[in-house]
């Protein structure tokens, strides 16, 4: 089974209600894609099509930014090939609840432009950004732990194995925070991912995984751009 785990497209821009103010957007910040984000969704669909890849199923969670991206991909294949790809709602790759960090600006790594650093310090910010260490308790109030996220992502991928055939191709749309924990599926886990600087996925980019019953999950691509491919 092949899985393309893709981060939703851009959510900040002049056509967004909040403008180009980039802020920490968690599972309670239900903001839509902007025009460039919708184009990223189309670009990903075109990438799949150009490589003769027809998804057997699409997955997204309830957030409009992930669901909209999945719908755009689905509509592309319906219009181009007349194929109605099944689209399932699943919360396994739902973005994290960033507690009181949510809504704070996150530009750069200085307190002048980054409100998270201003309020909670550079150490906490860098621990999350570069090592994916979730802050615990007060004053951060994040609503989950690293164990919770690892379990959620693991359950999602185990569910794919149970529901789909070995030869199926799956497209799953998620967010950067949750997609990071895909690394927990591989030998070396998050520790090795941090060492490889393999913790971030840009908007509209994707990871490609392959599953084999004898060897488990294998990572083929990380943070891959459908435009430059």
- List, for residues 157-172, the tens digit of each pLDDT value: 999 999 999 999 999 9
H-helix or E-strand spanning residue 127:
helix 122-131
The average pLDDT across 6-24 equals: 83
Q: What is the DSSP letter of 186?
A: S
Whether 58 has a pLDDT exceeding 80, the answer reads yes
Band (pLDDT 50/70/90 cuts) for residue 153 is very high
For the beta sheet containing 169-174, the strands, ordered from the edge strand earlier in sequence to the opposite edge, are 87-89, 57-60, 169-174, 2-7, 206-212, 216-224
Which pLDDT does position 14 carry in this prediction? 79
Which pLDDT does position 75 carry in this prediction? 98
- Sketch out the chain's domains with CATH numbers: 2-16+33-97+144-224 (3.40.50.1240)
Beta-carbon count within 10 A of 47 CB: 18
Which pLDDT does position 18 carry in this prediction? 57
Which pLDDT does position 211 carry in this prediction? 97
Dihedral class, residue 19 (left if φ above 0, else alpha if ψ from -120 to 50, else beta): left
**For 202-217, how does the pLDDT look when each residue is reduced to its tens digit (9 = 90+)?**
999 999 999 998 899 9
């Amino acid at each position: 089974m092949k899985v393309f785990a893709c981060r939703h497209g851009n959510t900040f821009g002049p056509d967004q209600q909040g403008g180009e103010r980039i802020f920490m957007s968690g599972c309670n910040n239900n903001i839509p894609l902007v025009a460039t984000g919708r184009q990223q969704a189309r670009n990903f669909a075109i990438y799949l099509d150009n490589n003769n890849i027809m998804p057997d199923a699409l997955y997204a969670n309830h957030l409009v930014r992930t669901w909209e991206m999945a719908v755009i991909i689905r509509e592309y294949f319906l219009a181009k090939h007349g194929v109605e790809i099944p689209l399932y709602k699943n919360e396994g790759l739902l973005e994290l609840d960033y507690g009181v960090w949510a809504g704070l600006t996150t530009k750069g790594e200085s307190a002048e432009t980054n409100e998270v650093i201003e309020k909670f310090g550079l150490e906490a910010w860098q621990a999350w950004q570069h090592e994916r260490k979730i802050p615990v308790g007060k004053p951060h109030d994040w609503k989950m732990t690293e164990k919770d996220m690892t379990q959620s992502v693991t359950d999602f991928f185990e569910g794919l194995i149970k529901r789909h055939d070995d030869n199926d191709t799956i497209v799953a749309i998620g967010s950067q925070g949750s997609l990071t924990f895909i690394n927990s599926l591989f030998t070396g886990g998050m520790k090795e991912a941090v060492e490889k600087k393999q913790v971030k996925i840009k908007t509209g980019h994707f990871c490609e995984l392959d599953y084999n019953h004898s060897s488990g999950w294998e990572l083929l691509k990380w943070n891959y751009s459908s435009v430059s491919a």
